[in-house]
Every structure is written in C-alpha cells, then in structure tokens.
Amino acid sequence: MRQISLLLLLFVALENVKAQTVVVNPDGTHSIVIDNGPTKTIINPNGTHSTVIDHGATKTIINPNGTHSTVIDHGATKTIINPNGTHSTVIDHGSTKTIINPDGTHSTVIDHGATKTLNKRQRKNKKNNR
C-alpha cells in the first residue's frame, strides 16, 4: 500500500513538473522528479528509479520492480490502475488534489509550486460516527 500511495503522489506531482521537483512523502522522505520531456524519471527515497511515459491522455508508470501502473486522464478526474488491478481516483481541486486510495483512505496533495506535500488521512469508521 505504501508503494501505491507513493506512486499516486508522484503521478499527481508530475502534472506540474518543470525540469526538477522535490516531493515530500508522507513519511518525511523525499523523492525527486526529473522532467525529460515526454518521459519523467522519479528517484525514489531508497535510490530506485521509476519511469513515467506520457502518451497524452494516458501515462504508463514503470515501477522499480518492473510492474506497470496506468493513468487515464479524464480532465479534473484521473483513474490510476495499479499493478495489482486495484483502482485509485485523483480529483483535482486546483492547488489541492484528493486521492481516493483502493482501501478507501484519502490522501491530499497540496501544491506549493516546486514542492508538493502529501497528507494521508484514514477512512473514518462508520460505526464511530453514529
């Protein structure tokens, strides 16, 4: 799940990448995104690399372990098909984006220009909200 959340954040960060961007991950680690034009290289906190290939309305993320994620751009809403077949949804609110993770938790990406911050929130237990 941690890898999926990291990839979601990095995908969202890629929307506005200009040359090089630092992404602050939820656990305090940093990832670096380098824009090479139609491809982007993500340097993960553990030193591994991911590659993003931009095909216009779809993007392919090649993960360090060789698996692939596919991103389908529907405008303000994007669908991410994770390597394990689960889906995530990204909703763009301008300077913030909400990611609905496969397990129902939400993550918020806050755009600070060249840096992005991810705030992960847990799903509320419906029984406790009665």
Average pLDDT estimate for 1-7: 55
**Is 110 domain-assigned?**
yes
**Is 66 domain-assigned?**
yes
Is the pLDDT score of 40 beyond 70? yes
Distance in Å from the first CA to the final CA of the chain = 29
- The count of structural domains within the chain is 1
- Phi and psi at 103, nearest 5°, equal -90, 5
**Is 130 domain-assigned?**
no
pLDDT of 62: 93
**Is 129 domain-assigned?**
no
**Is 79 domain-assigned?**
yes
pLDDT of 69: 92
Least trusted range by pLDDT, from 39-43, 77-81, 87-91, 124-128: 124-128
Which range of residues forms the domain containing residue 64? 2-122
**Is 128 domain-assigned?**
no
Residue 112 has which token pair? 């600070």
pLDDT of 85: 93
Residue 44 has which token pair? 């993960």
pLDDT, greater one: 93 or 6: 93
Is the pLDDT score of 122 beyond 80? no
